[in-house]
């Protein structure tokens, strides 16, 4: 772990609480110390995530997994993480198969689920909706993506991945150059990630997007206030050169009117020829996934699949220990994990 700034002896769940409760709604709940403390819990989870060790610290606990938008990795990895800790999962996916289709409110849904399960993971298309679930219950609620708002667990696993990759190379997050490419307006993962990265010192961000899909101004202000350098460009050639991390995103077509896509062409696609010309031998290539695998796609080319700089599947693998750590912390069992572990 890299240097942290001070000690706080309270349980981690209290240090990161949202309105005094053990929810995870936004990365704004973290400071650098609490983030590093969470990463240490995730490190403990690594052998359990790989099934070299087992623990049953959440035996008897039930997770409610409510996904009202499409998902593969967030839904399944949260479920797998809970199971790896000994718990079980009950889920509902899409509005069609939930009583919200009959007009039930978020408040009622959340109150009802609180009587059935011990924690909730929620993805919903409206910004702020997961916070509404959280206000209606005392059980931990985790934001798994609220429309164009935030996706905190994704950003946490992204930063955890950056730290692990850098640690292998003897590099620090402080002072690094991060290029973010694509739909920076609606891409909730970059909204959460840039906030987390801004907890570190002296970063340079190059933000590569067409004018219609630029990073929201309130995030640019926040990052600048924290003393980081921000350059905005529409040129991959300018933005990628010298970057330590390239973070590509998919255009969130589901979130905007057709005209905003104007100016967004395959020119923005990260391809092997560009990476070989502009990036360094140790640049990390990241993407929250899913990437668009269809012809004419414009996020991250499959011709990079065998390039060792491509960290996308290391990111997805890290989703399990990070989400296990979040459950353990929010449910107050993080200190029981190490002593409960046994060989698989
Ligand atoms: N990264 C991410 O949120 O992927 P899913 O939409 O598949 O959950």
Ligand 1 site, residue 71, Cβ cutoff 6 A: yes
Model-level pTM? 0.94
Ligand 1 site, residue 192, Cβ cutoff 6 A: no
Token representation of residue 237: 């050639």
CA 36 to ligand 1 center in whole angstroms:
24
CA 221 to ligand 1 center in whole angstroms:
27
Q: Which residue has the tokens 């005209």?
A: 259
Token representation of residue 314: 């290391």
CA 342 to ligand 1 center in whole angstroms:
31
Tens digit of pLDDT at every position of the chain (344 positions): 344 445 788 999 999 999 899 999 999 999 999 999 999 999 999 999 999 999 999 999 999 999 999 999 999 999 999 999 999 999 999 998 899 999 999 999 999 999 999 999 999 999 999 999 999 999 999 999 999 889 999 999 999 999 999 999 999 999 999 999 999 998 899 999 999 999 999 999 999 998 888 999 999 999 999 999 999 999 999 999 999 999 999 887 766 665 556 555 657 889 999 999 999 999 999 999 999 877 777 789 999 999 999 999 999 999 999 999 999 999 999 999 999 999 99
Residue among 289, 299, 316 whose CB has most ligand 1 atoms within 8 A, to mutate: 289
Q: Is 13 exposed, middle or buried (0-12, 13-18, 19+ CB in 10 A)?
A: buried
Planar angle of CA 298, 223, 244, nearest 5 degrees: 50
Contacts of 43 (CB under 8 A, 6+ apart): 321
Contacts of 165 (CB under 8 A, 6+ apart): 284, 311, 314
CA 73 to ligand 1 center in whole angstroms:
5
Token representation of residue 23: 């929810």
- In 3D, which of 209, 203, 220 has the Cα closest to residue 252? 209
Ligand 1 site, residue 289, Cβ cutoff 6 A: yes
CA 34 to ligand 1 center in whole angstroms:
24
Alpha-carbon distance of 13 to 38, in angstroms, equals: 10
Alpha-carbon distance of 4 to 2, in angstroms, equals: 6
Contacts of 5 (CB under 8 A, 6+ apart): 31, 32, 33
CA 74 to ligand 1 center in whole angstroms:
5
Q: In this structure, how many other beta carbons lie within 10 angstroms of the beta carbon of residue 65? A: 24
Residue nearest to atom 3 of ligand 1 (CA): 74
Do residues 261 and 209 lie in contact, with contact meaning Cβ atoms separated by under 8 Å? no
Ligand 1 site, residue 137, Cβ cutoff 6 A: no
Give the largest Cα separation in the chain, rounded.
57
Q: What is the ipTM of this complex?
A: 0.99
CA dihedral for 325, 194, 131, 79, sign (positive or negative): negative
Residue nearest to atom 4 of ligand 1 (CA): 73
Planar angle of CA 71, 163, 278, nearest 5 degrees: 85
Ligand 1 site, residue 154, Cβ cutoff 6 A: yes
Ligand 1 atom with minimal separation from the 74 CA: 8
């Amino acid at each position: 772990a890299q240097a942290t700034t001070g000690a706080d002896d309270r349980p981690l769940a209290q240090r990161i609480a949202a309105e005094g409760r053990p929810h995870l709604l936004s990365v704004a709940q973290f400071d650098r110390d609490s983030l590093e403390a969470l990463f240490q819990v995730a490190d403990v989870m690594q052998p359990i995530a790989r099934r070299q060790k087992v623990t049953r610290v959440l035996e008897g606990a039930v997770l409610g997994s409510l996904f009202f938008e499409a998902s593969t990795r967030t839904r399944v990895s949260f479920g797998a993480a809970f199971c790896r800790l000994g718990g079980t999962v009950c889920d509902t996916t899409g509005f069609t198969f939930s009583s919200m289709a009959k007009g039930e409110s978020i408040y009622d849904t959340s109150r009802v689920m609180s009587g059935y399960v011990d924690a909730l993971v929620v993805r919903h298309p409206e910004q702020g909706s997961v916070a509404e679930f959280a206000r209606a219950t005392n059980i931990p609620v985790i934001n798994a993506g609220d429309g164009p708002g935030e996706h905190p667990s994704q950003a946490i696993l992204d930063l955890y991945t950056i730290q692990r990759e850098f640690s292998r190379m003897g590099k620090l997050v402080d002072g690094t150059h991060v290029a973010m490419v694509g739909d920076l307006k609606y891409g909730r993962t970059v909204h959460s990630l840039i906030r987390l990265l801004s907890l570190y010192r002296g970063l340079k961000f190059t933000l590569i997007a067409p004018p219609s899909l630029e990073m929201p101004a309130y995030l640019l202000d926040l990052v600048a206030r924290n003393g980081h350098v921000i350059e905005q460009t529409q040129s991959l050639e300018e933005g990628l050169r010298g970057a330590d991390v390239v973070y590509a995103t998919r255009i969130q077509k589901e979130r905007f009117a057709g005209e905003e896509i104007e100016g967004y062409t395959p020119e923005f696609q990260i391809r092997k020829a560009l990476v070989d010309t502009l990036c360094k031998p140790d640049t990390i290539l990241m993407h929250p996934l899913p990437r668009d695998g269809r012809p004419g796609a414009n996020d991250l080319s499959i011709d990079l699949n065998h390039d060792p700089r491509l960290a996308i599947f290391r990111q997805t693998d890290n989703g399990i220990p990070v989400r296990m750590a979040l459950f353990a912390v929010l449910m107050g069992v993080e200190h029981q994990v190490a002593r409960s572990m046994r060989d698989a």
